[in-house]
Structure 1
Amino acid sequence: MSFHQITDQPAQDAFVRFREGVGQRFVVTIDTEEEFDWTKPLTRTRHRVDTVSRLRKFQQFCEGFGIVPIYLIDYPVATSALAAELLRDAVIAGRAEVGVQLHPWVNPPYEEEVNQYNSFSGNLPFALERAKFLKLHTTIAENFGAAPMIYRAGRYGIGPNTADVLHEAGVAIDTSVRSRFDYSGWGGPNFRDLTLRPYWVGEPGRLMEMPLTTVFSGLLRRYGQWLYPKLSRFDRLRGAMARVGLLERIPLTPEGVTVGEALRAVNIAVDEDLPVIVLSFHSPSLCPGHTPYVRTEADLDEMYEWWRQVFELLIARGVKPTSVREVMETTLFD
Structure 2
Amino acid sequence: MTDPPSSEAFVAFPDGFGSRFIVTVDTEEEFDWTAPFSAEGFTLDAVPELGTFQRFCEEYGVCPLYLIDYPIATSPVAAEVLGEAVRAGRADVGIQLHPWVNPPHDEAISTHNSFAGNLPEPLERSKLAVLRDVIERNFGRAPRVYRAGRYGVGPATAPILLDHGIAIDTSVRARFDYSSGGGQNFRDLPVRPWWVGAPGRLMELPLTTVFWGLLRRYGPILYPKLWRAPRLRGLLSRLGLLERIPLTPEGASAVEAIRGIDMALREGVPVLVFSFHSPSLQAGHTPYVRNAADLAALYDWWRTVFAELARRGVRPTSVAEIMAAARLA
If the TM-score is normalised by the length of the shorter chain, which range does it land in?
over 0.9
The residue correspondences of 1:67-82 to structure 2 (distance < 5 A) are: 67-82=62-77
Q: Say whether residues 1:291 and 2:286 are aligned partners.
A: yes
Gaps in structure 1 of 5+ consecutive residues: 1-5
Match of 1:257 among 249, 252, 256: 252
Output the CA distance in 2 between the equivalents of 1:186 and 1:278.
24
Which residue, 85, 90, 97 being the options, matches 2:85?
90
The CA deviation at 1:10 is 0.7
How big is the alpha-carbon RMSD for the aligned residues of Structure 1 and Structure 2?
0.8
- What is the rounded CA distance, in whole Å, between the counterparts of 2:136 and 2:3 in structure 1? 30
TM-score of the aligned structures, taking structure 2 as reference length? 0.99
Q: Is the 8 A contact 1:16 1:332 kept in 2?
A: no
Contact 2:254-2:305 within 8 A present in 1 as well: yes
Correspondence list, 1:199-218, <5 A: 199-218=194-213
Q: TM-score, normalised by structure 1?
A: 0.97
* Separation in structure 1 between the aligned mates of residue 24 and residue 109 of structure 2, nearest angstrom: 27
Give secondary structure in 2 for the equivalent of 1:50. coil
Is it true that 1:153 corresponds to 2:153 in the alignment?
no
Correspondence for 1:328: 323
Q: Does 1:123 align with 2:118?
A: yes
Tell me how far 1:265 sits from its aligned partner. 0.8
1:167 deviation in Å?
Answer: 0.3
- 1:245 CA drift (Å): 1.1
Greater shift, 200-209 or 238-247, is seen at 238-247
Tell me the equivalent position of 1:47.
42
SS at match of 2:47: helix
Q: Which of 175, 190, 210 matches 1:195?
A: 190
Equivalence map 1:3-14=2 (5 Å) = 6-14=1-9
Residues 179 and 191, structure 1, Cα contact 8 Å, conserved in 2: yes
SS in 1 for 2:17: coil
Distance 2:239 2:227 in 1: 18
Tell me whether 1:314 sits opposite 2:309 in the alignment.
Answer: yes
In 1, the alpha carbon distance for the partners of 2:44 and 2:154 equals 27
Which of residues 22, 27, 31 is equivalent to 2:17? 22
Among candidates 52, 61, 79, match of residue 66 of structure 1: 61
Aligned partner of 1:33 among 21, 28, 46: 28
Q: Is this contact kept in 1: 2:14–2:328, CA < 8 A?
A: no
Deviation at 1:332, TM superposition (A): 3.7
Runs (5+) with no aligned partner, structure 2: none
Quote the offset at 1:20 in angstroms. Answer: 2.4
Q: Once structures 1 and 2 are overlaid, which stretch shifts more, 137-146 or 230-239?
A: 230-239
- Do 2:22 and 2:318's aligned partners in 1 also have CA atoms closer than 8 Å? yes
Query: What is the one-letter code of the residue matched to 2:84?
Result: D
The offset of 1:266, in angstroms, is: 1.0
1:19 CA displacement: 1.8
Tell me the secondary structure at the aligned position of residue 46 of structure 2: helix
Distance in 2 (alpha carbons) for counterparts of 1:10 and 1:65: 34
Q: Which runs of 4+ in 1 moved over 3 A?
A: none
Match of 2:230 in 1: 235
Equivalent pairs counted in the alignment come to 329
SS, match of residue 331 in structure 1: helix
Identity %: 61
